[in-house]
Amino acid sequence: MSAYPDHLDLGPLDRAAGSVRLPGSKSISNRTLLLAALAQGRTQIHNLLAADDVDRMLEALSVLGVTVTGSRQGVVAVDGCNGSFPVKQADLFLGNAGTALRPLTAALATCGGHYKLSGVPRMHERPIGDLVDALRSLGADIRYLANEGYPPLEIRPGTPWSGSKVRIRGDVSSQFLTALLMALPLAGRAITIEVTGELISRPYIDITLKLMSRFGVTIQREGGSSFLIPAGSRLVSPGEIFVEGDASGASYFLAAGAIGAGPVRVEGVGRGSIQGDVGFADALARMGARIELGENWIEAAAPPTGTLRAFDLDLNAIPDAAMTLAVAALFADGTSRLRNIGSWRVKETDRIAAMATELRKLGAQVEEGPDFLVVTPPHASRLTPDAAIDTYDDHRIAMCFSLAALGGVKVRINEPGCVAKTFPDYFERFAEVTSMSSAPVIAIDGPSASGKGVVAQRVAEHLGFHYLDSGSLYRLVALAALRDGVDVKDADALGEIARKLPAHFSAGKILLNGEDVTDAIRAEAVSRSASEVAAFASVRQGLMRRQQAFRRVPGLVAEGRDMAAVVFPDAVLKVFLTASAEERARRRYKQLIEKGFDATLSTLLQDIRQRDARDSERSVAPLRKSVDAQIIDTTGLSIKEVVGRILQWFESASRKAPSR
C-alpha cells in the first residue's frame, strides 16, 4: 500500500486517457468474507480488496477464530464455521468500516457469546439504533456503551429468534437490511423482514441478495419492502468466488475520461456487473459523455461538443458514485441538481456539508439542503486555482476532488492517505491516465546501453521533471509473458498483456502484480525478449497511452527507442544518444556484474549487434534518429558532460518555444 504525505498537489491537468484495472469492490469483499466465515465449507476468494475496511473485517474474523489463509495478491481461503464463531468472548475494533461493524453486529447477536464492538470516533457518530432495535425485537441482548443509538456496543448471550417477523427502517442505511439478510439464515426457520420508509441504496441490497444466492440462500422478495428468509436456510460455500472490481472506484476514472477528452477505460466491471454503481455510466451519458460497455469493462470519453451538460437527477440508488457527479458538475454548462442524497449525512462524514464547503473553494456556487445539492460552476468554468481541499478522513472526498485538477489548475488534497480505506494506490492510478498537454517533454532516444537511462534520470532530477523509462514497460510485458508461458512471437497475446499490464511505478521501484521486479526485468533473458516484444504493433499500441500519461507538469524526460518520432513528436527537445557497440557491451557487462548476474563480454557484444539490427530494421517504430534530434556520441564523454550539453540545449529550446 502507498504511503502518502500530509498533502498531495495535483495538476494542473487537462487530459485523461488510458486504462485502469480496478481493485476489488469493498462492498462485495466484506460481504463475501462474512458469508464465507458463516458458511459450511472452505471458500476460495479471488481479487479480494487490499484496503483498510477489509483489513478490519479480516482482523475481526481472525479474533473470532475463523481460519483465513493465503494472500490478496493471489487467493484468500476462508474456512467457514458453519453458523457459529468458535470464539465466544472478544473485543473487536472495526475502525470506520460500516460494512464490517453493522453486519457483524447482527451475526454476533446470534452466536450466544459476549462481544464488544467499537471503532474510530466518527464510527461512534454513525447511527445503528434501528438495527439494534430490530435485533432486540428478535431476542438479542445488545447494550450501548456510550450514547444511545450509536456504537460502541456490547453483545451478551440472548434468546434470539423469538419472533417470525422483524421490521427495519430503510431510509437511514441499507447496511441495516444487509446485516439482517446475512445473519437471519442462521436462525434455521422462516423469518420475514419488513422495511419501513423508503429503502435507499437499493442496488446494494441487490448485491447482498445475489451473493447470498451464491452461498445457497435464496431470499423471497415481495416488492421492495418485504423479504422472506425460508425455513431451513443454510449458508454453504460455493467453493470459489471472484470479487468484481469496485464500481464506485470506477466513477472517478470514467468522469476523468468525460472531462479530459478520454477515452479512459476501467477494467473489472461492465455490463455483467452485480453492482448498482455501474449506473454512474448512465448518469455520465445523460451529461453527454460517450460511453461504451463490454462484459467486463466500461469506457468514457468527452461529449462531441467537448462540454458536459448540466443535470437534475435522483441519485438515491448510487449515493457513493453521486459524489463524483458533484465534482463533474464543475465542468457542466449550467446548474446541476443532485437529489435524494440524504444518506450522505451519516457516512464517513456529513458529506453534503463537506462537499458544499470544498466545491465553494473551487469557485462554485452551492446550495445545500437536507437531501440535495445544487451546484453552479464558476464563471466560464474557470476554477479557482491552488484550492486546498480538506478530506475529513473520507476516502471518497479525496478521490472525487482529484478531478478538479483536470480544470487546468493546481489542487492540493489534504490528508490523501485516507484513500487507503478502499483504494490505497488511487493517486498512482490517477496519475497514469492524466496529463498536461502543455507540459514540456525532453525525448531521449538511442540504442541499448548508449547511456540514455542514467542521463535521462540526471536531467529529470536537475529540472525537477518526471521521468519515463519506456524500456521498462516493454521489459515488463516480456517478463509477464515469460512468467505466463506466452509465446513471445504471439502478437495478439502480447498486445493483450500490454493493454492490461498490471504494473506501476512507486518510490523508485517497478512493480508487477504488486511484486517488486526492478531487478528482475534487467535479466538478460528478459532483455532479449523485450527487444522481440517491442517489434509488435499490438504491444506498442497497447503501451502508447500509458507512456503519454507520464506527461505531467512541470515536465517530462522520456527515454527509449521512439520517444521523439512516435510517442512525443511535439517534444520541445529531441536527443539521440549513441556509442560504439564495443563501448555499449562493456557498459552492459559492468551493469550486470554489479547486479550479480552472470555475463560474458563477447556474448553481450554479439547480442547488442543483433539487437541493433532488429531495432533498426523492424517495420513498426524502428530505431532511427528523428530528423530534428540533436545527436551525441557518448563513447568518450562522461555522464556529467552529456547531461550538461542536454541542459544547455533545453534552455535554448525553451526560449525559442512558442508560449502555450
Report whether 326 contacts 375 (CB < 8 A). yes
Q: Report how far residue 636's alpha carbon sits from residue 580's, in angstroms, rounded to the nearest whole number.
A: 10
DSSP string of 102-155, one letter each residue: HHHHHHHTTTT-EEEEE--TTGGGS--HHHHHHHHHTT-EEEESSSTTSS-EEE
C-alpha cell at 145: 456503551
Reported as type and span, the H/E element at residue 601 is helix 601-617
Return the closest-CA partner of residue 500 out of 485, 488, 490, 512: 512
- How many residues make up the chain in this entry? 660
Q: Return the percent helix, strand and coil in the chain, to nearest 5.
A: 40, 20, 35
Q: Report how far residue 506's alpha carbon sits from residue 502's, in angstroms, rounded to the nearest whole number.
A: 13
Residue 320 annotated among the catalytic residues of the structure: yes
DSSP string of 255-303, one letter each residue: HHHHHSEEEEEEES-STT---GGGGHHHHHHHTT-EEEE-SSEEEEE--
Q: What angle do CA 479, 484, 486 make, to 5 degrees?
A: 85
Catalytic residue among 14, 53, 320, 607: 320
Tell me which residue has cell 427502517: 169
Q: Report how far residue 653's alpha carbon sits from residue 327's, in angstroms, rounded to the nearest whole number.
A: 38
Please give the order of strands across the beta sheet that includes 261-267: 290-293, 297-301, 261-267, 15-21, 434-435
Tell me which residue has cell 490528508: 415
**What are the phi and psi torsion angles at 112 (to 5°)?**
70, 30
Q: Report how far residue 10's alpha carbon sits from residue 403's, in angstroms, rounded to the nearest whole number.
A: 9
Q: Report how far residue 184's alpha carbon sits from residue 275's, in angstroms, rounded to the nearest whole number.
A: 23
Active site residues: 320
